[in-house]
Amino acid sequence: MTPAERPPTEFEKKVYDALHLVPRGKVTTYGHIARYLSCGSPRAIGQALRRNPFAPGTPCHRVVSADLTIGGFFGATTGSPIDRKRRLLEQEGVRFGENGAIDPACSYCYDE
């Protein structure tokens, strides 16, 4: 069984469940999810998202870097995956500033 074929771990399931709380038109960060899950590791969140077998139904594209830049997508940080992530976010109503970062008004925090 390849890593892509294995079932999600319990931790990954918690990450994917947390994603369903982020509404369309909003984004959250790897760090916000880590704090929400008491995980302490934004990188662990990123690794779980990289293996998301339920995309786009489980919207991993709604997770961005702490500075509200786009971050990664499907293990890539440049190229067509990032272009696709931006298009998905724009289709949901997420706004970007001139510097390419996401408008802070589009940010979702789990403690709201």
Q: Which phi and psi angles does 65 have, rounded to 5°? A: -70, 160
State the CATH architecture for 10-102: Orthogonal Bundle (1.10)
User: Annotated catalytic, 106?
Assistant: no
49 to each of 17, 33, 103, how far by Cα in Å? 11, 11, 22
What is the mean pLDDT of each successive set of 10 residues along the chain, which is 112 residues long?
75 96 97 95 93 90 95 88 95 94 95 67
From the candidates 39, 60, 106, 109, give the one annotated as an active-site residue. 60
The pLDDT score that the predictor gives to residue 110 is 87
Question: Is the separation of the CB atoms in 83 and 50 below 8 Å?
Answer: no
Which of helix, strand or coil describes residue 54?
Answer: coil
Res 1: pLDDT: 47
Give how far Cα 31 sits from Cα of 9, 41, 47, 81, Å: 20, 7, 13, 21
Q: Round to whole Å and give the CA distance between 107 and 75.
A: 22
Domain ranges of the chain: 10-102
